[in-house]
Structure 1
Amino acid sequence: MNQHQQHQMSMSSHDQMLHGGQMMHMGNLKQKFWNSLFLAVPILFMAPAMGLHLPFQFQFAGSDILVVLLATILFIYGGSPFLKGAVAELKARQPEMMTLISLGIVTAYGYSLYAFIHNNVLHQHPFVMDFFWELATLILIMLLGHWLEMNSMMQAQQAVNHLASLLPAKAHVLQNGRTHDVSLQQVAVGAKVVVRAGEAVPLDGQVISGHSEVNEALVTGESQAVQKNVNDAVVGGSLNGSKTLTIKVTQAAGSGFVANVNHLVQQSQQNKSQLQTWAQRVAGWLFYAALVIGFLALLVWSIISDVATGIQRLVTVLVIACPHALGLAIPLVNARSTALGSRHGILIQRRQVIEESAQIDYVVFDKTGTLTQGQFQVIACRSLSKEYDQSQILQIIGSLESQSNHPIAQSVRRYLKKQQQSFKPAQNVQTLAGGGLAGQVATENYQLLSPRLAAQKHLQVPTLHQSETTSFLVHDQQIIGYLIVGDQLRSTAKKMITAIKDQKLTPVMLTGDNSAIAAHIAKQLGIQHFKAELQPQVKQQIIADLQKKGHQVMMVGDGVNDAPSLAQANIGVAFGAGTDVALDAADVILVNSKPLAIIQFLKLARRTRQKTLENLWWGAGYNIIALPLAAGVLAFAGIVLSPALGALLMSLSTVIVALNAASLRL
């Protein structure tokens, strides 16, 4: 867990309403809306709308009483989530969103009940306009808005839930020499599971028998199948190749890679950003402002006019301050942003990165697995002897490497398979200190040596001017051929670096690889600032030094050695193909491990921040003008904002923020 995640803010009552209890369940929220709509429709047909009798409305003997009964049930049933939230806020002595919403619905209901008694029970004059129609629409709009918000969140969840479909329903558990099909939820850690050819790996585990190529593209984004041998880790959801594997389960059904990805989506919705906190603060300020302005208006208008006018001014202020729009302004943008990000493989663990991304000026990259594919490939195999052709050199090297699980050995085996070449069995293969192998192939002794070891043995090493890893094949103290393997650049890495520069950001590469390889990769990508042969703590210190100089740093990595740097950076970005340690330390996960997703994240963050600020103004800014007007400060000029018009403005602002959030595009 990184430094940012260690200090997460507790969820406000607004978040509790959305994420806890009954409102947590999409079906319950949907049902509450439809039940409330059933109660509200008769009110909309029988109660005056904003003081007017619309053409479709009607009244009959006793309709006023029926409206009061339905409105009371609606107030208690449909308004209960907001009222409970307000109680929680007031107990915490921190009135925010739910308190302000409750102030609006309590005012509308209370004033309407007073109007009913005044008009129908006491039969006093003048006639007082009720707000049952406004109360019904107010509760419906709030419930509908939160239902739409939760629906967006569900869509964001569904955007990555397809990962879960990669897992088979059952696993072939091996017991006493026989296999039994068992539900994944019942498979314990440590169980032995058989994965047959062509099947999906059911759970994260470790190979204990067999070898096969496994396609992890749908889970990690790596397009090339990976050779899996004994002791190699396999990821649940990856697709087994042509041979059977037996694995030992290391992660239960609820804690593997797929489960972790889904957890990240839920966590990203629960974490509050600074702008979300601002919305809560603004709601608190509006609550106090509405009370102060409203009661001042009550006092002043009661003195200069009458109490009835003062009460009307108070009601108008309290109704117009109800934060439908403010309550939805940021959650709707966040939900839309999360859904867009999830569809593009961008999972944001910490919402604060949306704001922080605007200040980033340095982007630091790990090399292996981030800018490169993290997988060795044979670049060249050449003969330096007239007695051996290139095919023979490759076969001998393949024979020596056939018993090794080293990445170079794996790359040779893949290359041989691609070239449709076989190799002869090697005997007495030994690993040489300093980098090399020695063994017998067809009764002949051969050595495969690193340049350093070849030089130490005083062999005449040819100058190849290669930055990649080179191995020399030696026979009878003569170099007869060589093999060059190297880590290949990710296909879109150069395009991504160019885009980074276009945004006036400085790319930096920090790697533990040797200087020659680092320089070669940096030159290919156009990265001017790089450092090589670094230990993890040195990478972290370099980032800390940049921060001390006033720079804001984003770190992109995927390995265990990147975790300290990811935690140190202002924003840590990890590739989904990376290790669990790197994923835990990161603020943003790029599920597909595609470099260009970094650019998409920056664009998404920038546009999300813009829409959020716009919605804050649409949701709350109009109150700067509306509250004084509602209080009647311009009544002397004939400008009076009625309670009905105040309710209409409030509703319109809600529609505006919803449409503005929906317009967010990537």
Structure 2
Amino acid sequence: MTSDRGTHAGQHASEGHPGHDPAMVEDHAGHDAREAHAAHESHEGHGGHGAQGGHGGHGGHGDHGDHVGQFRRLFWIMLAIAVPVVLANAMFADLIGYTLPHSGPVTWISPVLGTVMYVWGGKPFLTGAVAEVKARQPGMMLLIALAITVAFIASWGASLGILNHELDFWWELALLIVIMLLGHWIEMRSLGQASSALESLAALLPDEAERLDGDEAVTVPTSELTTGDLVIIRPGGRIPADGTVVSGAADVDESMITGESAAVRRAVGDRVVAGTVTTDSALRVQITAVGDDTALAGIQRLVSEAQSSSSRAQVLADRAAGWLFWFALGAAVLTAIAWLILGAPESAVTRTITVLVIACPHALGLAIPLVVSIATERAARAGVLITDRRALESMRTVDAVLFDKTGTLTRGEPAVVSVAAAPGYTEDEVIELAAAVERDSEHPLGRAIVAAAEQRGLAVRAATDFQARNGVGVTATVAGAEVSVGGPGMLASHDLDALTQADAWSGQGSTVLQVIRDGAVAGAVALADEIRPESRQAIDALHERGVHVAMITGDAEAVAHSVAQSLGIDEVFAGVLPQDKGAKVKALQSAGRKVAMVGDGVNDAPALAQADVGIAIGAGTDVAIASAGVVLASDDPRSVLSVIELSRATYRKMIQNLSWAAGYNLISVPLAAGVLAPWGFTLPMEVGALLMSASTVVVAINAQLLRRLDLRPSAVLAKRSG
């Protein structure tokens, strides 16, 4: 979808407005988000994953939904089979304290059903282990496969009387397979958490819309709406497609997009998004995007693309599993050698097998998937879309945030920022006169003046005899008086002097339009790219966290420094062309900073790609570019704080879970090997197995604590200030 800002710039001369600094509103014409989206789809870096991702057994996520269903079904089937395997196991019976027959059919329940579990339920891990071996990258799959294979062989040996009865691991084999299947089901489901949360928005779109045909409202299916249609949204009604408010003002509930519960005021000229709800008043909206071009469709595409990279978070657990594999293998070899040297071959076999089984990461298999699942859900609910998990993990180390000005810290369109009235006039009267002349204007400056009048509750009167003079301004008759609106050229044509405030406004980079009535100056209006009210809060909160804040823009120095001064920004890069933005990011990195670049996705691709973390802000097709690792569904710059909070909390939980899971193994393996045997202590098999289950419960509970994290920008700010 090509931006219409370049078109408005072209209309400027035809409507006779004086030339103002074209950098005030950056010219984004020519940008085609769909081309960027296509580039994203062709990006090979986010493809499927094999052994390195720890999922050699189930490959990429092209058929993600089918894999989720397969693991879900396999988990429940194996859980059902595991119940009799565990209950009919002699070692488990001794552990709990009930008696089983020593002979007869019952003794074969665990071996027979345990074999079914090993072959059927263990297949994903066994095939994944083969892939890891071929890739020469041992990880989670190989470690799991090693443990279940050793447990399977040892258990059959014990059942047939070949090995010590203490190696009757059928119950442990069953629990191990069930827990690992649960972990992989959770992980695969987590990849779709954001998708399901956002796809549910599609159901919120109304089936029908009221389209204006002339003065008549006609109810039509939403699917029949086209760009340019004018629709009415009644109080409490849902907006059927993306559009711009052309009449009315209402509080709009955008929580399904942004996660913020508070309604947002939308008036003439404001953009509204499909699926959001008008709460108190009716609106007339001109449709600007339908179908695949809507913000909602753009978000859904981004989530779909993100699914293939979300599992990269598993690499941390895989690396730990790889280390643990060599640790377990080394410990097993040393155990066997030590007990053979001591002249206890039976203990050598028992202890070596015990080490290999206990080394299997019950808790490690759940440590990352549970955290990823919950973090993804919390992020999606807050309108934070993670397109590259590594970007989220890197966000916690960022110490510099570089904001693009236009469309990020500002709204990307002009707004009336100041009004001055000559003696005998009020500010409202000046705005009324200017708005009457600009009433039918399509130029951004004219629309901004009309919007200011409506926001003040002023009646915009009709004007006649409209005339436009290139480079001078516009003139019309309002209530019998000749009213002109323009810049220095208009003043010169009337041989008039500007009001004193005009020079100061111009020095700050504002565009100043004079309002002349019947040959005398009635007042002046200053227009500038409106700063978002949330920007100051975002920057103050970043400063509280010790983050260096910089701003980059194509605007002139005066405009840039005026915005930077009002927001308290530390460093400014002004007059930067889009293709040079990446170099500015690199300059910050050369100074030793970890940089997050925040832009609206328009002409920011080089900078987003160069940054340590690229963050595209603002929902819609304009953000569908491959360069951003994080996409914020809302246009609220405070959401950057949500990303930092999520990154830190997620990493903290991952490390806690990995430390607990790996720490258990590092302690239990030497004990299982008999390192304290000279002092009369050897870790009983059943105790080791119980501790393994306990460690899994601890990891699960710790991950669930992440659900308490509230990522709404307002909540993150309140938490910090509190």
CA distance in 2, matches of 1:192, 1:369: 23
Residue 68 of structure 1 corresponds to 111
CA distance in 2, matches of 1:216, 1:563: 31
SS in 2 for 1:572: strand
The residue correspondences of 1:584-663 to structure 2 (distance < 5 A) are 584-663=626-705
Task: Report the Cα offset of residue 52 of structure 1.
Answer: 2.3
Q: Does 1:291 align with 2:291?
A: no
SS in 1 for 2:402: strand
CA distance in 1, matches of 2:546, 2:155: 58
SS in 2 for 1:491: coil
2:604 to 554, 562, 565: 562
- Pair 1:381–1:426, CA change in 2 (3 A): farther
CA distance in 2, matches of 1:451, 1:359: 50
The residue correspondences of 1:141-156 to structure 2 (distance < 5 A) are 141-149=179-187, 155-156=193-194
Tell me, yes or no, if the aligned pair for 1:509 and 1:530 is still in contact at 8 Å: yes
2:264 to 210, 223, 226: 223
Task: Report the Cα offset of residue 130 of structure 1.
Answer: 0.9
Q: Does 1:118 align with 2:161?
A: yes
CA distance in 1, matches of 2:621, 2:167: 65
Task: Report the Cα offset of residue 131 of structure 1.
Answer: 0.9
CA distance in 1, matches of 2:590, 2:204: 45
- Pair 1:438–1:531, CA change in 2 (3 A): farther
- Pair 1:506–1:129, CA change in 2 (3 A): closer
Task: Report the Cα offset of residue 34 of structure 1.
Answer: 2.5
Residue 502 of structure 1 corresponds to 544
Residue 445 of structure 2 corresponds to 408
CA distance in 2, matches of 1:595, 1:522: 15
Q: Does 1:552 align with 2:589?
A: no
Tell me, yes or no, if the aligned pair for 2:151 and 2:357 is still in contact at 8 Å: yes
Q: What are the Cα deviations for residues 119-168 of structure 1, in whole angstroms up to 9, with x where unaligned?
A: 7xxxxx96554111111221222233344445655555444445323323
CA distance in 2, matches of 1:630, 1:548: 50
Q: What are the Cα deviations for residues 169-195 of structure 1, in whole angstroms up to 9, with x where unaligned?
A: 4679999x99896685xx7x9799774
Residue 300 of structure 2 corresponds to 262
Residue 280 of structure 1 corresponds to 318
SS in 2 for 1:479: strand
2:132 to 78, 89, 112: 89
What letter matches 1:72 in structure 2? T
What letter matches 1:97 in structure 2? M
Q: Does 1:106 align with 2:149?
A: yes
Higher mean C-alpha displacement, 547-556 vs 446-455: 446-455
Residue 480 of structure 1 corresponds to 522
SS in 1 for 2:596: strand
CA distance in 2, matches of 1:364, 1:236: 30
CA distance in 1, matches of 2:626, 2:157: 57
CA distance in 1, matches of 2:84, 2:337: 36
SS in 2 for 1:347: strand
- Pair 1:214–1:271, CA change in 2 (3 A): farther
What letter matches 1:223 in structure 2? V
Tell me, yes or no, if the aligned pair for 2:238 and 2:277 is still in contact at 8 Å: yes
Tell me, yes or no, if the aligned pair for 1:111 and 1:315 is still in contact at 8 Å: yes
Q: What are the Cα deviations for residues 358-413 of structure 1, in whole angstroms up to 9, with x where unaligned?
A: 43222112233322344544344444264x66555433311221222223322322
Residue 28 of structure 2 corresponds to none
Tell me, yes or no, if the aligned pair for 1:216 and 1:235 is still in contact at 8 Å: no
CA distance in 2, matches of 1:484, 1:220: 33
- Pair 1:526–1:456, CA change in 2 (3 A): farther
Residue 399 of structure 2 corresponds to 361
CA distance in 1, matches of 2:58, 2:694: 23
- Pair 1:178–1:488, CA change in 2 (3 A): closer
CA distance in 1, matches of 2:228, 2:218: 9
Question: Once superposed, what is the RMSD of the aligned Cα atoms?
Answer: 3.9
2:203 to 141, 158, 165: 165
Task: Report the Cα offset of residue 64 of structure 1.
Answer: 0.7
SS in 2 for 1:460: coil
Q: Does 1:371 align with 2:413?
A: no
Tell me, yes or no, if the aligned pair for 2:210 and 2:217 is still in contact at 8 Å: no
CA distance in 2, matches of 1:126, 1:331: 36
Q: TM-score, normalised to structure 2's length?
A: 0.78
- Pair 1:660–1:336, CA change in 2 (3 A): same
Tell me, yes or no, if the aligned pair for 1:469 and 1:485 is still in contact at 8 Å: yes
Tell me, yes or no, if the aligned pair for 1:555 and 1:573 is still in contact at 8 Å: yes
The residue correspondences of 1:312-351 to structure 2 (distance < 5 A) are 312-351=350-389
Tell me, yes or no, if the aligned pair for 2:366 and 2:699 is still in contact at 8 Å: yes
CA distance in 2, matches of 1:644, 1:474: 92
1:459 to 488, 491, 496: 496
Higher mean C-alpha displacement, 536-545 vs 236-245: 236-245
CA distance in 2, matches of 1:11, 1:173: 47
- Pair 1:194–1:510, CA change in 2 (3 A): closer
SS in 2 for 1:485: strand
The residue correspondences of 1:435-474 to structure 2 (distance < 5 A) are 436-441=473-478, 445-451=482-488, 454=491, 459-464=496-501, 465-466=504-505, 467=508, 468-474=510-516
CA distance in 2, matches of 1:167, 1:205: 14
Task: Report the Cα offset of residue 460 of structure 1.
Answer: 1.0
CA distance in 2, matches of 1:550, 1:320: 44
Q: TM-score, normalised to structure 1's length?
A: 0.84
Tell me, yes or no, if the aligned pair for 2:86 and 2:110 is still in contact at 8 Å: no
Q: What are the Cα deviations for residues 613-638 of structure 1, in whole angstroms up to 9, with x where unaligned?
A: 22222222333333333333443332
CA distance in 2, matches of 1:586, 1:631: 49
SS in 2 for 1:286: helix
Tell me, yes or no, if the aligned pair for 2:91 and 2:166 is still in contact at 8 Å: no
Higher mean C-alpha displacement, 445-454 vs 563-572: 445-454
Tell me, yes or no, if the aligned pair for 1:448 and 1:471 is still in contact at 8 Å: yes
Q: What are the Cα deviations for residues 31-79 of structure 1, in whole angstroms up to 9, with x where unaligned?
A: 3333222212222222124582523453373201122222222223322
Tell me, yes or no, if the aligned pair for 1:160 and 1:342 is still in contact at 8 Å: yes
2:45 to 7, 25, 44: 7
- Pair 1:170–1:399, CA change in 2 (3 A): closer
Residue 575 of structure 1 corresponds to 617
Task: Report the Cα offset of residue 602 of structure 1.
Answer: 1.3
Residue 122 of structure 1 corresponds to none
SS in 2 for 1:641: coil
What letter matches 1:463 in structure 2? T
SS in 2 for 1:481: strand
SS in 1 for 2:264: coil
What letter matches 1:480 in structure 2? A
Residue 177 of structure 2 corresponds to 139
What letter matches 1:648 in structure 2? L
Task: Report the Cα offset of residue 247 of structure 1.
Answer: 5.0
What letter matches 1:258 in structure 2? L
- Pair 1:620–1:111, CA change in 2 (3 A): same
Q: Does 1:422 align with 2:460?
A: yes
SS in 1 for 2:160: helix
What letter matches 1:333 in structure 2? V
Tell me, yes or no, if the aligned pair for 1:216 and 1:226 is still in contact at 8 Å: no
Tell me, yes or no, if the aligned pair for 1:553 and 1:571 is still in contact at 8 Å: yes
What letter matches 1:656 in structure 2? V
